[in-house]
Amino acid sequence: MSKVEELAKKLGAQVIQTHASWVLLLPEVVYKIKKPVNFGFLDYSTLEKRREMCQKEVELNRRLCSYIYLGVVPISEVNGEWEIERDSKVVEYAVKMRRIPDSALLSNRLNEVSLEDIRKVARVVAEFHQRAQRVDEFGKIEVMKFNTDENFKQTEKYVGITISPEDYEYIREKTNKFYEERAELFEKRIKEGKIRDGHGDIRAEHVAFLQEGVCIFDCIEFNDRFRYGDVLNDMCFLSMELEYFGKEELAKAYEEEYKSYTNDEDFDLLLPFFKCYRAYVRGKVNSFLLDDPNLSEEEKERAKERAKRFFKLAKRYAEQF
């Protein structure tokens, strides 16, 4: 049994794993511990880096969900056992959060959430983007292309496993052609101040309906360039995922409300391109789980099927631009 599992057992916590973290769920609070991994785009390989990223996670997420993020706490090893919130011989750090009820998560309310609820989410996202810091240099076409090139390189090993060779080539060719044909559009977006320090991971499981209002949590802290970018690239992650879950009506309401609120004239032109990018990222991340030694074969099989579906969705979006 790992130290994390031992700690969870002692606390009576449920453990959920992602490719980069262990999440310990207790009735009132959550502790999120970063795995000592280095994927290139994400580096938690040293204790100092994990501490720094925990602090950054709290700071950034308080922009959209200030009442959830309680702070960073140490984990010490005492007599061979891990002790949470003890600062003696620190071996790890954790982000401490107020636990969000499962029933409040959008991912668990997809069959009951109203169109007005989804429109509220769109308005929260739009208002957040309007006040977020401008980061113009990250709107350059070479920056976006670096991200997509990296995606294609990192998914080469999964061609024939989670994505077909034909779909891989089609998406890559359509993406690069879009850059060639729409170079002026990327410059226009920079001049109009549409490149902001966003959230980077606005998905259904990161949106909650709480008494205090709409809470959007768990933004990307580990790599600024995945958080910095076009506001449409940020907002569309959620509508892409709603369509992945077969909730096209919710996705449409979300997109229309955001478009109406912002009066973004490039909305329809850019949306399929950015949704393709987001779906491809989800396919990539789920593919990474196939190489995670901490996951069971059953968990890896589920990740494989999710990856396949996300890559198929990316292909569908690529056919639209």
The CATH number that applies at residue 264 is 3.90.1200
DSSP symbols for 138-175:
GGSHHHHHHHHHHHHHHTGGGBTTTB-HHHHHHHHHHH
Split into its structural domains, the chain has a count of 2
- Residue type for 181, please? E
Residue at a domain's end among 80, 99, 118: 99
Provide the pLDDT for residue 287: 97
**Do 84 and 141 belong together in one domain?**
no
Q: What is the pLDDT of residues 182-230, one digit of tens each?
A: 999 999 999 999 999 999 999 999 999 999 999 999 999 999 988 999 9
Provide the pLDDT for residue 72: 98
Provide the pLDDT for residue 166: 98
The CATH code of the domain that includes 75 is 3.30.200
Sign of the torsion formed by the C-alpha atoms of 185, 187, 188 and 192: positive
Look at residue 1 and tell me whether its pLDDT is greater than 80: no
**Do 94 and 112 belong together in one domain?**
no
Q: What is the pLDDT of residues 127-171, one digit of tens each?
A: 999 999 999 999 999 999 999 999 999 999 999 999 999 999 999
3-class SS of residue 111: coil
**Do 128 and 86 belong together in one domain?**
no
C-alpha dist (Å) from residue 233 to 31, 140, 240, 255, 273: 29, 14, 11, 12, 9
Residue whose pair of structure tokens reads 């491809």 in the numeric block: 280
Structural domain boundaries, residue 63: 3-99
Mean of all residue pLDDT scores within the chain? 96
Look at residue 247 and tell me whether its pLDDT is greater than 90: yes
**Do 144 and 284 belong together in one domain?**
yes
Look at residue 19 and tell me whether its pLDDT is greater than 80: no
Which secondary structure element, helix H or strand E, spans residue 129, and what is its range? helix 115-131
- Percent of the chain clearing pLDDT 90 (strictly above): 93
**Do 82 and 221 belong together in one domain?**
no
Provide the pLDDT for residue 250: 98
Cα dihedral angle (44, 50, 56, 59), rounded to 10 degrees?
A: 140
Q: What is the DSSP letter of 59?
A: H
- Predicted TM-score (pTM) above 0.75: yes
**Do 86 and 110 belong together in one domain?**
no
Residues contacting 219, CB < 8 A, separation 6+? 57, 60, 61, 63, 64, 198, 199, 200, 201, 206, 227
Distance CA 233, CA 178 (A): 15
Residue at a domain's end among 99, 123, 157: 99
Which secondary structure element, helix H or strand E, spans residue 275, and what is its range? helix 267-288
**Do 123 and 264 belong together in one domain?**
yes
Q: What is the pLDDT of residues 89-131, one digit of tens each?
A: 999 999 999 999 999 999 999 999 999 999 999 999 999 999 9
Look at residue 41 and tell me whether its pLDDT is greater than 90: no
**Do 124 and 248 belong together in one domain?**
yes
Residue at a domain's end among 61, 82, 99: 99
**Do 87 and 199 belong together in one domain?**
no
